[in-house]
Amino acid sequence: MRAIDTLLSGDLPRSRLLALALGAILFALALAPFLFPGTRSLDVAAKVCIFIVLVASYDLLLGYTGIVSFAHTMFFGIGGYGIAIAMTRLDAGWSALAIGTAGALAVSLVLSLLVGLFSLRVKAIFFAMVTLAVASFFAILASQLSDLTGGEDGLTFKVPEFLRPGFRLLDEPVLGVVFGGKLITYYLVFTSALALFLGLLRAVNSPFGRVLLAIRENEFRAEALGYRTVVYRTLANCLSALVATLAGVLYALWLRYTGPNTTLDFAIMIDILLMVVIGGMGTMYGSILGTTLFIVAQNYLQDLMKMASGATRGIPLLPDLLHPDRWLLWLGVLFVVCVYYFPLGIVGRLRHGGARKG
């Protein structure tokens, strides 16, 4: 019990249902290659792992510090481009991966520090605008510097041999699962994501994390107690950016590709916002539920609707409404309903009535 408490930094789910849901998701992701064989479902599982980290790092900003930033996808992209550029320019080995990751982290650190120091002193809306401008500029830069970034096409690159789909650990499949580069990459992604999430959970439940909450609650008072809030916000901004960068590295590694559409697209920024809000801001666990629900819906809603549309054949109007082409409409409806009925997100709802403990 104490080990779990330590692992979760004392921030237990505090709701049986929430604990159950989290356990189920952890179980499903941990055994995804065995439970859901098939390329597409493994892609979905890997994306869920990576986006949990991306969304959790955004929650650190939005939910815990009360900062609205639109530059999160930029840092995500810096991670992806960092290793893509290193892997295409250098030998596609582990050292190139390390150099690309380190370079991306350095760029993100400097950028987040600059953006933070220049604009976190002033009004929140100004910070949001600055991040929007910087992120747009970065996206333009990425598409213009096509010699370096591959422009709109992005960069496809080779990964270390060990991680390539062609690599085989065992000659024969076991339980129908191929033990090869794809599986290894998945578990690299899974364990990294788990470690990063637990690290974030620790950060928000550390003395530092509680100061962030205090700043969100009453900045004036936090200052009067002697906390230099600019320093705290800037650090939170940097930490969030660095974790987003690592998520970008993992995503590029999984896709063996980085391009504007997989990282820098503004639509991804909106998705991140939605996932945080649906899961529950300022809870960390919300990022797990929000992301899983969102990405699974995004990927399987069409299939589900195809089935529903078929099943309701003969009933007027319904099959049309449920036609797979309407999936975006239903996704939208789902979100509106979610936000309307769970203003504190799913986690807030599950914990309903439970006061936070000291």
Partner 1 sequence: MQTAEHPVLETRGLTIRFGGHVAVNEVSCSFHPGTLTAIVGPNGAGKTTYFNLVSGQLRPSAGRVLLFGEDVTDDPAPVRTRKGMGRAFQLTNLFPLLTVRENVRLAVQARARSGLNMVSMWGRQSELIEKAEHFLHRVGLAERSASLASTLPHGDQRKLEVAMLLALEPDIFMFDEPTAGMSVAEVPVILELIHDIKNQKDKTILLVEHKMDVVRSLSDRIIVLHQGALVADGNPAEVIASPIVQEAYLGVSASA
Does 226 engage in binding with partner 1 (CB under 8 A)? yes
Least distance (Å) from partner 1 to the CB of residue 66? 12
Does 221 engage in binding with partner 1 (CB under 8 A)? yes
Least distance (Å) from partner 1 to the CB of residue 342? 18
- Rounded Cα–Cα distance for residues 1 and 24 (Å): 19
Exactly one of 218, 270, 320, 354 binds partner 1 (CB under 8 A); that residue is 218
- Rounded Cα–Cα distance for residues 280 and 47 (Å): 20
- Rounded Cα–Cα distance for residues 67 and 73 (Å): 15
Exactly one of 228, 325, 332, 339 binds partner 1 (CB under 8 A); that residue is 228
Encoded tokens for 49? 């792992």
Query: Among all chains, which residue has been given the structure tokens 């190139």?
Result: 96
Does 207 engage in binding with partner 1 (CB under 8 A)? yes
* Neighbour tally for 96: CB within 10 Å: 21
Count of residues touching partner 1 (by CB under 8 A)? 34
CA distances from 92 to 122, 164, 246 (A): 44, 11, 18
Does 209 engage in binding with partner 1 (CB under 8 A)? yes
- Judged by beta carbon, residue 243 or residue 268, the one nearer partner 1 is 243
Does 3 engage in binding with partner 1 (CB under 8 A)? no
Does 7 engage in binding with partner 1 (CB under 8 A)? no
Least distance (Å) from partner 1 to the CB of residue 8? 10
Does 229 engage in binding with partner 1 (CB under 8 A)? yes
Least distance (Å) from partner 1 to the CB of residue 226? 4
Least distance (Å) from partner 1 to the CB of residue 157? 33
> Helix axis angle, 72-89 relative to 94-119, nearest 10°?
150
Exactly one of 130, 235, 278, 289 binds partner 1 (CB under 8 A); that residue is 235
State the chain's maximal CA–CA distance in angstroms.
69
- Judged by beta carbon, residue 200 or residue 252, the one nearer partner 1 is 200
DSSP, collapsed to helix, strand or coil, labels residue 303 as: helix
Exactly one of 28, 107, 117, 214 binds partner 1 (CB under 8 A); that residue is 214
Does 356 engage in binding with partner 1 (CB under 8 A)? yes
307 touches 277 (CB < 8 A)? no
Phi-psi domain of 353 (left: phi exceeds 0; alpha: psi -120 through 50; beta: other): left
347 touches 280 (CB < 8 A)? yes
Which residues contact partner 1 by CB under 8 A? 6, 9-10, 202-203, 205-211, 213-214, 217-218, 220-229, 231-232, 235, 239, 355-358
